[in-house]
């Protein structure tokens, strides 16, 4: 089968992982800008990181026949430092026109704080000005439902951003319904011990249907699995779902959402 992983952090993975993706049928990935596992202390660190996402990583992926796209943004965890946040936000526009950048992401909330909301507001305004796609991070540690509602209200108050051009990621059982009702795409993250499992993801597809859902591994520097999407596809097979539906969930759906960006090209 063919699959697209719409949210994976390959800069933290090895070349062996690229080989595993390639031989398993995942030939397209998109990598959101994210927290590096520690708080960076200067805007220069972000400049180097954005260069790695837009130049070094696509070249590394190409060695294995994988097309690598990315997203640029200031993540919510590092938005608390206002001075640093201002410096990073000033850098972001110069990277958004690069060939493999799909839009703003992953931006959103972590603890639903004022500083996080302020940084998110600035980045949503930039996305609206440019008509860019948006990839949203929803909280893990604090109130996910509250944070998701805040994010959706902020986006819906900006008439230049269409909900169908926004993917709200790390959705869970108690947030999926409201995300879908308001017209957004939602992401299910397959991350051990915290965000979700193949079984829970397939349960969600069975309950809510296959529309406007993208399933991702979010594989990064912590305990995670770059082949988690394929293992979820196999769980669908085990339950008797047809290959046509599996192809839709893991290939056609992300292709449809990402294809709203004219820079996204796959066969």
* pLDDT tens column, 21-63: 999 999 999 999 999 889 999 999 999 999 999 999 999 999 9
Residue 23 lies in a domain: yes
Residue 72 lies in a domain: yes
pLDDT of residue 134: 99
Q: Which residues span the domain enclosing 72? A: 3-258
| CATH code for the domain of 51 | 3.20.20.140
Give the lowest-confidence range in 58-72, 85-99, 113-127, 194-208: 194-208
Based on the structure, what is the number of domains in the chain? 1
Query: What number of helices (H) and strands (E) belong to the chain?
Result: 12, 8
Residue 263 lies in a domain: no
pTM of the model: 0.97
Helix axis angle for 144-156 and 114-130, nearest 10°, is 40
């Amino acid at each position: 089968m063919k699959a697209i992983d719409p949210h994976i952090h390959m800069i933290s993975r090895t070349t062996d992982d690229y080989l595993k993706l390639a031989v398993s049928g995942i030939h397209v990935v998109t990598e959101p800008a994210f927290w590096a596992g520690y708080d960076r202390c200067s805007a220069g660190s972000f400049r180097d990181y954005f260069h790695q996402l837009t130049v070094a990583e696509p070249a590394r992926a190409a060695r294995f026949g994988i097309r690598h796209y990315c997203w640029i943004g200031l993540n919510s965890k590092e938005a608390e430092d206002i001075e640093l946040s201002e410096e990073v936000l000033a850098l972001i526009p110069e990277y958004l026109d690069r060939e493999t950048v799909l839009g703003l992401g992953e931006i959103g909330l972590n603890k639903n704080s004022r500083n996080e909301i302020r940084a998110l507001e600035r980045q949503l305004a930039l996305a609206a000005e440019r008509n860019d796609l948006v990839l949203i991070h929803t909280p893990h540690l604090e109130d996910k439902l509250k944070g998701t509602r805040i994010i959706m209200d902020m986006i819906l108050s900006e008439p230049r951003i269409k909900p169908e051009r926004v993917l709200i990621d790390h959705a869970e059982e108690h947030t999926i319904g409201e995300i879908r009702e308001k017209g957004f795409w939602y992401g299910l993250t397959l991350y051990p011990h915290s965000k979700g499992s193949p079984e829970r993801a397939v349960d969600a597809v069975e309950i809510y249907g296959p529309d406007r859902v993208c399933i991702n591994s979010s594989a990064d520097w912590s305990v995670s699995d770059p082949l988690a999407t394929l293992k979820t596809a196999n769980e669908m097979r085990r339950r008797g779902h047809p290959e046509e539906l599996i192809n839709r969930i893991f290939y056609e759906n992300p292709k449809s959402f990402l294809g709203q960006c004219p820079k996204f090209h796959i066969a």
